[in-house]
Amino acid sequence: MTKRLENKIAIITGSGRGIGRACALRYGQEGAVVVVNDINAENVAKVTGEIVAAGGKAISYPADVTDPAQVQAMVDRAVSEFGRLDVLIQNAAISNTNKRPGQSVEEYAATTRPSNVSLDEMRAVWETNVFGVLAVYQAMLPLLREAPQARIVNVSSGVGSLTASSDPAYPWRAIFGPVYPASKTALNALTIAMAIELEPEGIKVNAVSPGFTRTNLNGYAGTETVEEGAREAVRVALLGHDGPTGTFTRWENATIPW
């Protein structure tokens, strides 16, 4: 197999499990030096070990992306260990902080409507899914600028699509609310802003949706495997010089309306 990421440095946030882990394993197979980041240090060590055991290159960077000091420590390490960053996958996210065990997505959505949502709950989710992404972007940008063809992939979700959620026929319309879905809408807005900012420098910034994937995020209710969920992020990170920026797609290269 041709290793398409040979010697590239790739940081994947939230890669201790789920879709991020599947991206990390795949990047290891593609020859990247995979920087495994997650809030859960035990999972970071486990995934790093899995990549190395499979013959790949990986390094552990446990950190909470909502903690500025921990993000800065990651950057300081990356500056001294690599001096550049080729690929940044912004994958870390949470769907809630207070869903009761056994509570369905629909039941949780009913408690997080604009009229009754806890502002603390909304802030907590946006802290990881929106502000955490922006903080990592700002911190890592100097390193990305040192790479010849840097790529940023923001892992979003189809449920963040305003166009889809405005369509009465959209199956997820009923769960559109201020917490997780709107955090992904905000992430989409950040994606466009980042793509516009970096277009003159040739750094491509794209958003992807993994599809409904079996992970902890949705209580393992999803229908896709994590390997399937990881495919679009992997594809977009490999876009060449002529590839697009500022897109929102699902596998394989199917455009999702903003």
Ligand X SMILES: NC(=O)c1ccc[n+]([C@@H]2O[C@H](COP(=O)([O-])OP(=O)(O)OC[C@H]3O[C@@H](n4cnc5c(N)ncnc54)[C@H](OP(=O)(O)O)[C@@H]3O)[C@@H](O)[C@H]2O)c1
Shortest CB 189 distance to ligand X, Å: 15
Q: DSSP letter at 218?
A: G
Does residue 118 interact with ligand X by CB under 6 A?
A: no
Among the candidate windows 2-10, 15-23, 25-33, 117-125, which touches ligand X by CB under 6 A? 15-23
Among 60, 96, 157, 185, binds ligand X (CB under 6 A): 157
Question: What minimum distance in Å lies between the beta carbon of 34 and ligand X?
Answer: 15
Alpha-carbon Rg for the chain, nearest whole angstrom, is: 17
- Does 185 participate in binding ligand X (rule CB under 6 A)? no
Residue 147, helix vs strand vs coil: coil
Distance CA 148, CA 159 (A): 34
Under the binding rule (CB under 6 A), the answer on residue 20 touching ligand X is: yes
Please tell me whether residue 222 binds ligand X under the rule CB under 6 A: yes
Q: Which of 5, 10, 12, 17 binds ligand X (CB under 6 A)?
A: 17
Position 16, amino acid: G
92 token code pair:
């870390």
Residue 40 is a binding residue for ligand X (CB under 6 A): yes
- Backbone φ and ψ for 241, nearest 5 degrees, come out as -55, -35
Helices (H), the chain: 18-29, 41-53, 68-81, 105-110, 119-126, 132-144, 162-165, 180-198, 226-237
For the CB of residue 157, give the shortest distance to ligand X in the complex, in Å. 4
Among 5, 10, 11, 16, indicate the residue that binds ligand X (CB under 6 A): 16
CB burial of residue 5 (10 Å; 0-12, 13-18, 19+): buried
The full DSSP string for 148-201 is TT-EEEEE--GGG-HHHHTSTT-TTGGG--TTHHHHHHHHHHHHHHHHHHHGGG
Residues acting as catalytic residues = 180
Of these, 5, 14, 28, 204, which contacts ligand X (CB under 6 A)? Answer: 14
Query: Which of 24, 47, 74, 93 is the binder for ligand X (CB under 6 A)?
Result: 93
**Contact positions with ligand X (CB under 6 A) in 44-83:** 64-66
Q: How far is the CB of 156 from ligand X (least distance, A)?
A: 7
Residues that bind ligand X (CB under 6 A): 13-14, 16-20, 38-40, 43, 64-66, 91-94, 128, 132, 155, 157, 209-210, 212-213, 215-218, 222
